[in-house]
Amino acid sequence: MEAYQNLSRAQLEALKARLEQDLAGYRARGLSLNMARGKPSAEQLDLSMEMLDVVNSKSDCHAEDGADCRNYCDIYGIPEAIRLFAAYMGVEEDEIVICGQSSLQLLYDALCRAMLQGVLGSDKPWGKYEHPKFICPVPGYDKHFGFCKFVGLEMIPVPLRADGPDMDLVEKLVAGDESIKGMWCMPKFSNPFGACYSDEVIYRLARMQCAAKDFRLFWDNAYSYHVIYKDHPVLNMLDVCKEVGNPDRVFLFGSTSKITMAGSGVTFIAASRANTEFIKKQYAVQTVGWDKMNMLRHVRYLKSMDNIKELMKKHAAILRPRFDAVLGTFDRELTGLGVGDWTRPDGGFFVTYMAMPGCAKRIVQLCADTGVTLTNAGATHPGGVDPEDSYIRIAPTYPPLEELKAAMEVFCVAVKLASVEKLLA
Ligand code: PLP
């Protein structure tokens, strides 16, 4: 296929007219497709319906240690949940706290506590610094950026690559500024870029010299077992931090949102023993217990890591045709046109499209006008501003396959039209 950059002005004008007609055709079909968020599909949620039967009115609601899960009891998690999710996170049982139903809640709480009180080893709360800052690899997750903005952390964008953030830049930044307090990391199948941190990146993050002695990596491991095509094992960050003598550097977060039921899962924070003790004391102020009935339900349903891995294979079987549809449509429609590039993730929940600079907003707008709602252009960057106006997050998981295929056809026409408009401008 001929790259658009090689077409004459007359050819571009003719192409533009054709593409406008194509979009009008789709518009006439009255599409109403929403791909704005990375939600699991109904088929994925159906996989765990049996979970609702394992704890019912006939069930014994006592945990292994005899605690009645219907009542207030140990606030750090029931023993069988601690055991299962410690194995899931690859940590010891005294290095994890099992909490509520969403890891976003934990991430947000952890940031708020740090801003109000500091973390283990802080001289003062992060919020007492004039300009406390957080490093934000981009493209990244809009919720992370929203939290920073809300609690008053200035965001420093750092380029993300397929194997992790630009470590030369990260090392330089953290070495020179005591008010840089932490960094978002999505180490495996990152949202939305699909990055998997290499061993080198992980060791450099663990070892780097930080001016802030209370610097923390917020390790959001939302997709640790979420393989679609091929696994990319990522080192256990807590082990690496211990090995290099910085055991307290990392807070690790996970949840079963994308395993069982989204937003109704079990969530956990893991860290060094010292960090965990510190966090437990703070949780004791916040709560007299998380949802232990939900923990019980999850553990009785999931049972073991082997079962979790089997369940993840069933998720992959549902997701693979959806990702095939997105990538196949891009390959067929866009290869060789010079109108952008896209990621080929082996797992996680997203594909990222990198449009010609200056085209992302227009593409998202054209799709919206045609009945296809995408994540806002810019959502991948702090403050919702992508300086290149290039990155678009594609979330293929939720729509039924046929709708997804239609949405991707619309998307490709929108990409072509926005690119032609740009070249003609
Ligand atoms: N963290 C990342 C990186 C995510 O992509 C998502 C959901 O899309 C979440 C956290 C949300 O997880 P939870 O449902 O546990 O709050």
In a domain, 109, yes or no: yes
In a domain, 53, yes or no: no
Q: How many CA atoms lie within 13 A of 21 on its CB side?
A: 6
Same domain, 342 and 268: no
| Average pLDDT for the chain | 97
Pseudo-torsion of CA 16, 19, 21, 26, nearest 10°? -150
Residue 10 is part of a domain; what is its CATH number? Answer: 3.90.1150.10
Name the band, by pLDDT with cuts 50, 70 and 90, for residue 73: confident
Same domain, 73 and 213: yes
In a domain, 249, yes or no: yes
Cα maximum dimension of the chain: 78
Same domain, 201 and 131: yes
Residue 4 is given by DSSP the state G
Same domain, 197 and 240: yes
In a domain, 326, yes or no: yes
Helix (H) or strand (E) holding 233: none
What residues contact residue 151 under an 8 Å CB cut-off, 6+ apart? 111, 112, 115, 127
For the chain, what is the domain count? 2
Determine if ligand 1 sits within 6 Å of the CB of residue 264. Answer: no
Instruction: Give pairs for 71-77: CB < 8 Å, separation 24+.
Output: 72/288, 72/289, 73/289, 73/292, 74/289, 75/280, 75/283, 75/284, 75/287, 75/288, 75/289, 75/290, 76/280, 76/283, 77/268, 77/290, 77/292, 77/295
Rama region for 377: left / alpha / beta (φ>0; ψ in -120 to 50; rest): beta
Residue 244 is part of a domain; what is its CATH number? Answer: 3.40.640.10
pLDDT at position 214 is: 98
Residues 3 and 15 sit within 8 Å (Cβ to Cβ): no
CA distance 411 to 418: 10
Q: Which atom of ligand 1 is nearest to the CA of 190?
A: 3
Same domain, 151 and 297: yes
Q: Give CA separation, 30 vs 82, 222, 404, in Å.
A: 49, 35, 15
Backbone phi, psi, residue 341, to 5°: -140, 170
Residue 375 is given by DSSP the state P
Domain's final residue, options 303, 333, 364 = 303
The mean pLDDT value for 215-230 works out to: 97
Determine if ligand 1 sits within 6 Å of the CB of residue 224. Answer: no
Q: Whose CA is nearest to atom 12 of ligand 1?
A: 103
Domain span including residue 144? 61-303
Neighbour-count burial of 178, counting CB atoms closer than 10 A to its CB (0-12 exposed, 13-18 middle, 19+ buried): middle
Same domain, 28 and 105: no
The mean pLDDT value for 180-201 works out to: 98
**229 has a pLDDT exceeding 80:** yes
Neighbouring-strand partners of residue 267: 255
pLDDT at position 189 is: 98
Helix (H) or strand (E) holding 70: none
In a domain, 54, yes or no: no
Write the pLDDT tens digit of every residue in 320-348: 999 999 999 999 999 999 999 999 999 99
Same domain, 281 and 145: yes
CA distance 317 to 324: 11
Domain's final residue, options 254, 286, 303 = 303
Domain's final residue, options 250, 284, 303 = 303
Strands (E), 285-345: 340-342
Determine if ligand 1 sits within 6 Å of the CB of residue 220. Answer: yes
Token readout for 36 is 């704005």
Determine if ligand 1 sits within 6 Å of the CB of residue 262. Answer: yes
In a domain, 210, yes or no: yes
Backbone phi, psi, residue 228, to 5°: -110, -50
pLDDT at position 216 is: 98
In a domain, 51, yes or no: no
Same domain, 318 and 289: no
Same domain, 83 and 120: yes
Same domain, 263 and 352: no
**Using N-to-C axis directions, what is the helix angle for 401-424 and 9-28, rounded to 10°?**
150
The mean pLDDT value for 109-132 works out to: 97
In a domain, 377, yes or no: yes
This model of the complex carries an ipTM of 0.98
Mutate to test the pocket of ligand 1, among 147, 191, 267, 350 (most ligand atoms within 8 A of CB): 191
pLDDT at position 124 is: 97
C-beta atoms surrounding 99 within 10 Å: 27
Token readout for 322 is 């959806």
Closest CA to 280 of 110, 112, 116, 151: 110
Pseudo-torsion of CA 24, 352, 269, 136, nearest 10°? -110
Same domain, 213 and 318: no
Same domain, 87 and 161: yes
Closest CA to 124 of 183, 182, 179: 179
**1 has a pLDDT exceeding 80:** no
Q: Whose CA is nearest to atom 8 of ligand 1?
A: 38
Percent of the chain residues past pLDDT 90, beyond the cut: 96
Mutate to test the pocket of ligand 1, among 89, 98, 103, 380 (most ligand atoms within 8 A of CB): 103
Write the pLDDT tens digit of every residue in 345-397: 999 999 999 999 999 999 999 999 999 999 999 999 999 999 999 999 999 99
Percent of the chain residues past pLDDT 70, beyond the cut: 100
**74 has a pLDDT exceeding 90:** no
Q: Whose CA is nearest to atom 2 of ligand 1?
A: 222
Closest CA to 395 of 353, 359, 356, 424: 353
Determine if ligand 1 sits within 6 Å of the CB of residue 269. Answer: no
